Structure 1
Amino acid sequence: MNTVTVYTTTRCPYCVMVKNFLVDQNIAFKEVNVETNPEIMHELVKQTGQMGVPQTKVNDKWVVGYDPNNIMMALKN
């Protein structure tokens, strides 16, 4: 069973693209809006070294930005 979490902000077009992609692929995911929870943003930066969103955690792998290929590869591993 895959666990997918998408870290987003409110007005991020690439976040919407990632969520739409996951919905289109029938992949269940949890969304965490880091804009409303700065503590999670700090944790994210600590884990990935990246300030931007979207960041998608697929199981234990991180995919930064809108990157459907890497999301699918992470799901297969």
Structure 2
Amino acid sequence: MNVTVYTTTTCPYCDMVKSFLSQNNIPYKEVNVEDMEKMQQLVQKTGQMGVPQTNVNGTWILGFDPNGIMAALK
């Protein structure tokens, strides 16, 4: 299982995704994209500027979408 959450420190939905993953004992790596270079890398990968973006085993989930995260984990 490979889960990475791309976040900023001021994003309430990012906190919701991290809480959801923690409550469900899903290990994840967090990447803060407030650094412009990291944000540009994320936009190049996904075409999206918004956060949170969660990569679950190669599948991108935009925003706070618990159902999408669980579906991607199956």
Q: Same fold judged by TM-score > 0.5?
A: yes
Query: What is the Cα-based RMSD across aligned positions, in Å?
Result: 0.6
Runs of at least 4 residues off by over 2 Å: none
What residue ranges of structure 2 are gaps of 5+ in the alignment? Answer: none
State the alpha-carbon separation in 2 of the partners of residues 53 and 42 from structure 1: 13
Count of paired positions: 74
Matching residue's letter, 2:67: N
TM-score by length of 2: 0.96
Shift of 1:17: 0.2
**C-alpha offsets along residues 37-75 of structure 1, whole Å, 9 cap, x if unaligned?**
221211111111111000000011100000000000101
What residue ranges of structure 1 are gaps of 5+ in the alignment? Answer: none
**2:57 matched to which residue of 1?**
59
Identity score, percent: 66
**2:20 matched to which residue of 1?**
21
TM-score by length of 1: 0.93
SS in 2 for 1:47: helix
